Amino acid sequence: MIDDFTPASDRPPRHGGSVDRPRVFWLEHPALDTVELPLAEDLATLVGTRRRSGGR
């Protein structure tokens, strides 16, 4: 879990006028299934879980 993000409405997600690279890193990490959960109007967290190997 990674917190202290603002909710993203753009794709790719942006922060401060440029692509939000830390958020993209976790959302697109090949070993993780990650979702963004908006918690408040100005707060979101990313929650990820490691993908299983072996296709189970």
The whole-number pLDDT of residue 53 equals 77
Give the tens place of pLDDT for each residue, 4-55: 899 998 899 988 889 999 999 999 999 999 999 999 999 999 999 999 876 5
For residue 56, name the pLDDT band (cuts at 50, 70, 90). Answer: low
Say if CB 44 and CB 5 are below 8 A apart: yes
The whole-number pLDDT of residue 26 equals 95
Nearest to 4 by CA among 42, 35, 41: 42
pTM: 0.80
